[in-house]
Amino acid sequence: MQTSPNDNIQIALIGAGGMGQGDTQMATHVPGVKLVAVADIYDGRRERCQERWGSQIFTTRDFREILERKDVDAVIIATPDHWHAPITIAALAAGKDVYCEKPMVHEINEGPQVIDAMKKSGRILQIGSQYASSAAFQKARELLQDGSIGELNLVEAWLDRNTAIGAWQYSLPTDDTPDRIDWDRFLGNAPKRPFEPIRLFRWRNYNDYGTGLAGDLYVHLLTGLHVVTGSLGPTRIYSVGGTRFWKDGRDAPDVMLCTMDYPKSEQTPAFTFALRVNFASSEPKEQFGLRFTGSEGQMTVDPESIKLARTPRETEPGMTLGTFSKAVQKEIEKAYYAKYPPQPVTLDSLRPVAQKEFAFSGDPHQKHHNNFYKAVRSRKPFFEDGVFGFRTAGPALLANVSLYHQKVCNWDPVALKVV
């Protein structure tokens, strides 16, 4: 979209860590989008933003100063998870459009509050689970709806890593001192505790501020699933896991498996969803994908490709005769072959599996930001709004509840509440 210099969308970044600065880089690649302000509680990250985007950028430790500015049209919220809902609600009330990183909320009870704030404000809210904008998942939805794998019954998903950075062991700065960090503002509504900067710079390891494997990575898998199937969410959730390798003081697990039961909907029959994340995988690089199994084939999807393997359903029941008398066996065989005459062997019959592959280019992260600013201009929200965001965050948070409390959690995906 072509814009004039006077038609800029002026944005502010709240939370300038790795994801926040990455989001801002994507945003400023969109024509007509301009960064004007940054809020972060660590001085070094505000300084880095001025190095990247110019010394004219206004910076502050207090996000409320951002929301008071008349020159800010939209905000990117990329803080630790426990700040997502409070800042989103405040930003919407201040008349700002909001791009909030996933998961949308830190606690289940925050979901309805965010949705209510979105509806009351009339502003654009888009959640930052970028695979909602993936061309691969959009194509997979088309293939599933066309019956390419028959009737869906099982989906398996994984997002495994085998590196320290992948396991949230982020680098620590050399100037992590109390005068450079607004510690009390970082804690916010989290339990009060003495200054311990590792909890800021590796906050995903701690449930006081993050949501662990489920909030960080299950949300991506749930997003892909909901895009492909059109499902609203599961009804039952059960998790197992623990800290198996990264015994570094974290209280979030590094291995987690979960099963979720999805009810019948207009788009799909009932099916089971199995998720896995392992931070000590033996694979050399990150593994990310979803495998959809149906009555007539499988479809494996990742952000860059789809592999479709179609196996036609067996049309004959077969025979189990060995335990019967020979006379009975002959009678059964005679009746069977009268109903199912032997078919001649052909080249087609020797190729039982039909395979097809699709490849996709383009960065879903960049496309997701393009979709957000398109919505800001058109005032037509992208589908990953607060309701969609809670449909993925809610089950993810319940996966944590199930793990920590060793119980099955029940969820109403229509009313969006715990049963």
For residue 170, count other CB atoms closer than 10 A to its CB: 16
- C-alpha to C-alpha distance for 204 and 199, rounded to whole angstroms: 8
Q: What is the pLDDT of residue 135?
A: 97
Q: What is the pLDDT of residue 113?
A: 98
Q: What is the pLDDT of residue 348?
A: 61
Q: Which DSSP helix (H) or strand (E) runs through 223?
A: helix 219-229
* Tens-digit pLDDT profile for residues 240-298: 999 999 999 999 999 999 999 999 998 899 999 999 999 999 888 899 999 999 999 99
SS3 34: strand
Low-confidence ranges of the chain (pLDDT < 70): 1-6, 346-353
Q: What is the pLDDT of residue 368?
A: 98
Q: What is the pLDDT of residue 354?
A: 77
Q: What is the pLDDT of residue 315?
A: 77
Q: What is the pLDDT of residue 233?
A: 98
pTM: 0.93
Domains and CATH numbers, the chain: 5-131 (3.40.50.720), 132-312+352-361+386-418 (3.30.360.10)
**What are the distances in angstroms from CA 195 to CA 184, 185, 315?**
9, 12, 68
SS3 85: helix
* DSSP code, position 218: I
